[in-house]
Amino acid sequence: MEFEVRESLDGIQVDAIVVPVPEGSDRCDPRFSTIANPLFASGDLPLKPLEILTIPGTPKILFAGISKTNDAEAWRRLAAAVVRRARKVKMVAFAGGDARSMVEGALVGGFSVEVYKTSNNKASVEKVIVAGADRKAIDDGIIVGESLNWARGLINEPSNRKPPRVMADHAREMAAAAGLTVDVLDERDLRDLKMGALLGVGQGSEESPRLVVLKHAGNPDSPKKLAYVGKGITFDSGGISIKPAEGMEKMKYDMAGGATAMAALRTLALFGARVNCMAVVPLAENMPSGRAQRPGDVVESMSGKTIEIINTDAEGRLILADALAYARRLGATHLVDIATLTGAARIALGPFRAGVMGNDQAFIDSFLAAAKRAGEKMWQMPMDDEYRDLIKSTVADVANTGGRFAGMITAAKFLEEFVGDTPWVHLDIAGTAWNDEERPWLPKGPSGVAMRTLVEFALSFGSLQ
């Protein structure tokens, strides 16, 4: 999708012009009042948010309802809804609005999950023109939107096309293009580092694990280093504790945290952000076989702590345990992990909010503030000491699951064992990373949730260094 800035709409030749109509308002851009006033009088306007009224002509006029909040998220959704609805429009112009957010939204709306259909029914908009916008705002929106879609594209890939070694190749290619440094650890490296938790998850698969590290050194003078640790399970069968067959095909998205962390690094690098940030992404395929780890096994993590495997389907926290320890070894002074970690997150918060936990309230507060600025909904869950009792083991230092009760919290308590006193935030996106129902601004499939928050948080973190 191509983007262009024009000083005005005068003499513009496009297929359609989008005219925002604020929710509950009786007016819109005065340049279109001749067309709009009779529609207000007849009750055809105003519109509910994301409703679109098309007036035929050359060009077409698309009156589009926008939420009365009039914030960045409202403009993102409006642009995405227009692109998704404008199937026979190649060139579209927006008559004002938040330029950066609209560019992000247009790219998000233009994303198609139908890449393997021989007749791809993707959106047809090829060029977007924004009148009176700042070019930097457009360019920043392109970077964010393309990074989101890079992550969504990886998440949408079938698991047979993205085993750990292939995911690592994608990371290398992206890093080279974005100007990031990259390091990929293979199975021999992981054994040398004694990453028994990560290796244990991957041992049932023919595809060996990997660990990817991306680095952006935007402020070499600062001692602070922020690490984004993203879960990268390229397919999750549950292992020996195998999942039900229904819905298992969606488990290709169990690497969404890893893809999102890497996409955030891409964005920061292209922004030239003045922050030191790394993405640490453990990659494994969780499969049942004669070599797979079993319930009752005990593994030794990189930190030296031993873990009793109660349920092999609680695998994400295992690979994150070693990755968090490795991030600390690399010098991370602050940690954020992001993972499609628990079904309990969806039970507790539904498909609308991600769960946030951590060990440092000031750090959590700054992260939640970044999420609010980014327009992404998150909710802090408790981390009382009593929850640690649920993951006690009789044979090892800790058990990898605490059973049905408070599953999102006990998973976080497990991860807390591996962060020491490093300020840490845990983000569980299991309920929000995959969109089960089509929405006006978003197709079914990968949502790209939390990438904007990670970028916003890193930018604010850098400003405080």
Three-class SS state of 39: helix
**Contacts of residue 344, Cβ cutoff 8 Å, sequence gap at least 6:** 406, 407, 408, 411
Nearest residue to 54 (alpha-carbon basis) of 27, 28, 11, 15: 15
CA–CA distance from 228 to each of 156, 168, 277, 434, 442 (Å)? 21, 16, 8, 20, 25
Nearest residue to 455 (alpha-carbon basis) of 277, 231, 225, 230: 277
- Amino acid (1-letter code) at residue 205: S
Query: In terms of C-beta density within 10 A (0-12 exposed, 13-18 middle, 19 or more buried), how is residue 458 classed?
Result: buried
Three-class SS state of 243: coil
Assess whether 452 carries a catalytic annotation.
no
Catalytic residue from among 252, 317, 346, 413: 317
Nearest residue to 196 (alpha-carbon basis) of 99, 101, 346, 297: 297
Please confirm whether the linkage preceding 59 is cis (ω < 30° from 0).
yes
Assess whether 346 carries a catalytic annotation.
no
Tokens standing for residue 384: 């009382």
Three-class SS state of 284: strand
Catalytic residue from among 6, 165, 172, 243: 243
- For residues 415 and 322, give the distance between their C-alpha atoms in angstroms, rounded to a whole number: 10
Q: How many helices (H) and strands (E) does the chain have?
A: 13, 20
Contact 282, 209 (CB under 8 A): yes
Which residues are annotated as catalytic?
243, 317
